């Protein structure tokens, strides 16, 4: 008989769907002691919430997250709401003794993140942040290769995350679907939304960032706010590029924008070492490119590893070799890892404390863009 982990989901948007899918699929493919139970979904719009709950199989609904935290039949709270709500909900959930799975970024800034870390650590509740790209099998494979020492001394880390969906000046800001364009709800633009993913992966693969120098740009200065109908200044960064130094002595180059026409979600990274290099592309997420200078000269070149074999990370739980999986499976993997951590008593990274490191880098990037100088992390 499996132990139940009774989930209370706050929010029903895109991330609410990806997380719900992870909860529903995990026990079909992973042998675990725990099974998620979709106990309650919570949001203010009851009509839309009920559609979401019916579609994904939530047993009940709530319109006030505080009532959700009061329920004895909820073990874990999943926070899928705009960034400005993370802190209040997470701290209250920790004080209520609930486990917490929080969407990224952790908070609006590192000061808020520090409060959230203190709360979960004081309460001793299991916690994790949904930086899902760690759980792409090819990315985890890159982690294993780097940790094995095959690359040797690392010289360079470069990453970009490019989109094009906000180019039109007719696009409003704020409201349910467009809160990421409202600085009061999001805290920042591409830095906290897209670059946060790049930074989390980079720190996981290559270690801590020590200092940064950055530039940002807001291309469209004013937009109509959906909730007020008024034209108001845009406070987020539409684009951000930064250079950095890592603790291991390597150099980093990062770029993100929502103004790269033709790119919907181009996320790539490359790591160059003394002996070998790896690179990965979200658009070909089941492949990892690898170059090894030790190969025979006449045959030396980039090889494309099809990460689908049973000895590749996570893939032994899925199909036969040669059949690939996709974006949605990264959330299944994070649920599996979280449930496994409940069995072992170990933390499920990235924890709140891990995600705080990414938050500090984001803060330093935004500070550097304003000061036009190098900033310590």
> Could you tell me what percent of the chain has a pLDDT over 90?
99
Exposure of 310 in the CB half-sphere (CA atoms within 13 A): 4
Say whether both 311 and 335 belong to one domain: yes
Please tell me the total count of domains within the chain. Answer: 2
293 token code pair: 């200078």
Instruction: Report the alpha-carbon distance of residue 113 to residue 297 in Å, rounded.
Output: 50
Q: Give 215-247 pLDDT, tens digit per residue.
A: 999 999 999 999 999 999 999 999 999 999 999
The last residue of one of the domains, among 132, 151, 168, is 132
pLDDT-derived band at 176, boundaries 50, 70, 90: confident
Say whether both 120 and 222 belong to one domain: no
Angle 14-18-350 from CA coordinates, rounded to 5° = 110
Say whether both 240 and 362 belong to one domain: yes
Say whether both 96 and 184 belong to one domain: no
Say whether both 361 and 217 belong to one domain: yes
The last residue of one of the domains, among 81, 106, 132, is 132
- Look at residue 177 in the predicted model and tell me its pLDDT: 86
What is the residue whose two structure tokens read 């808020």?
112
Say whether both 26 and 153 belong to one domain: no
pLDDT above 90 (res 254): yes
The last residue of one of the domains, among 75, 106, 132, is 132
What integer is the mean pLDDT of 151-172? Answer: 97
Give helix 110-123 / helix 86-95 axis angle, nearest 10°: 10
* Mean per-residue pLDDT of the chain: 97
pTM of the complete model? 0.97
Say whether both 162 and 87 belong to one domain: no
Beta bridge partners of 58: none
Say whether both 148 and 77 belong to one domain: no
- Look at residue 216 in the predicted model and tell me its pLDDT: 98
Which CATH number goes with the domain that contains 70? 3.40.50.720
Instruction: Report the alpha-carbon distance of residue 324 to residue 315 in Å, rounded.
Output: 9
Whether residue 43 contacts residue 9, with contact meaning beta carbons closer than 8 Å, is answered with: no
Say whether both 158 and 232 belong to one domain: yes
Say whether both 54 and 169 belong to one domain: no
Residue range(s) defining the domain that contains residue 58: 3-132
Which CATH number goes with the domain that contains 284? 3.30.360.10
Say whether both 224 and 102 belong to one domain: no
Say whether both 45 and 164 belong to one domain: no
pLDDT above 90 (res 105): yes
Instruction: Report the alpha-carbon distance of residue 260 to residue 166 in Å, rounded.
Output: 10
With H, G, I as helix, E, B as strand and everything else as coil, classify residue 246: strand
């Amino acid at each position: 008989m499996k132990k139940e982990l009774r989930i209370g989901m706050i929010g029903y948007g895109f991330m609410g769907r990806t997380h719900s899918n992870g909860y529903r699929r995990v026990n079909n493919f992973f042998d675990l002691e725990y099974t998620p139970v979709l106990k309650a979904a919570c949001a203010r719009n009851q009509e839309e919430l009920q559609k979401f709950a019916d579609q994904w199989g939530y047993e009940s609904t709530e319109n006030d997250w505080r009532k959700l935290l009061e329920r004895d039949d909820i073990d874990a709270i999943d926070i899928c709401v705009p960034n400005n709500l993370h802190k209040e909900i997470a701290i209250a959930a920790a004080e209520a003794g609930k486990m917490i799975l929080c969407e990224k970024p952790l908070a609006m800034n590192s000061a808020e993140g520090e409060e959230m870390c203190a709360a979960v650590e004081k309460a001793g509740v299991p916690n994790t942040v949904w930086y899902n790209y760690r759980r792409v099998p090819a990315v985890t494979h890159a982690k294993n290769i780097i940790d094995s020492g095959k690359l040797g001394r690392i010289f360079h880390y470069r990453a970009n995350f490019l989109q094009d969906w906000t180019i039109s000046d007719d696009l409003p800001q704020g409201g349910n679907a467009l809160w990421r364009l409202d600085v009061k709800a999001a805290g920042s633009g591409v830095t906290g939304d897209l670059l946060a993913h790049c930074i989390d992966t980079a720190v996981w693969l290559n270690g801590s960032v020590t200092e940064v120098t950055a530039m940002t740009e807001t291309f469209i200065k004013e937009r109509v706010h959906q909730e007020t109908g008024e034209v108001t200044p845009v406070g987020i960064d539409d684009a951000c590029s930064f250079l950095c130094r890592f603790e291991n002595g390597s150099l980093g180059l990062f770029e993100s924008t929502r103004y790269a026409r033709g790119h919907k979600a181009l996320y790539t990274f490359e790591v160059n070492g003394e002996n070998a290099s790896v690179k990965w592309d979200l658009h070909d997420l089941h492949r990892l490119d690898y170059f090894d200078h030790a190969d025979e000269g006449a045959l030396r070149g980039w090889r494309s590893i099809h990460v689908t074999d049973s000895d590749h990370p996570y893939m032994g739980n899925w199909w036969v070799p040669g059949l690939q999986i996709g974006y949605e499976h990264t959330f299944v993997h994070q649920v599996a890892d979280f449930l496994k951590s409940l069995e072992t008593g170990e933390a499920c990274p990235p924890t709140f404390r891990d995600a705080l490191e990414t938050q500090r880098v984001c803060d330093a990037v935004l500070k550097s863009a304003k000061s036009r100088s190098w900033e310590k992390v």
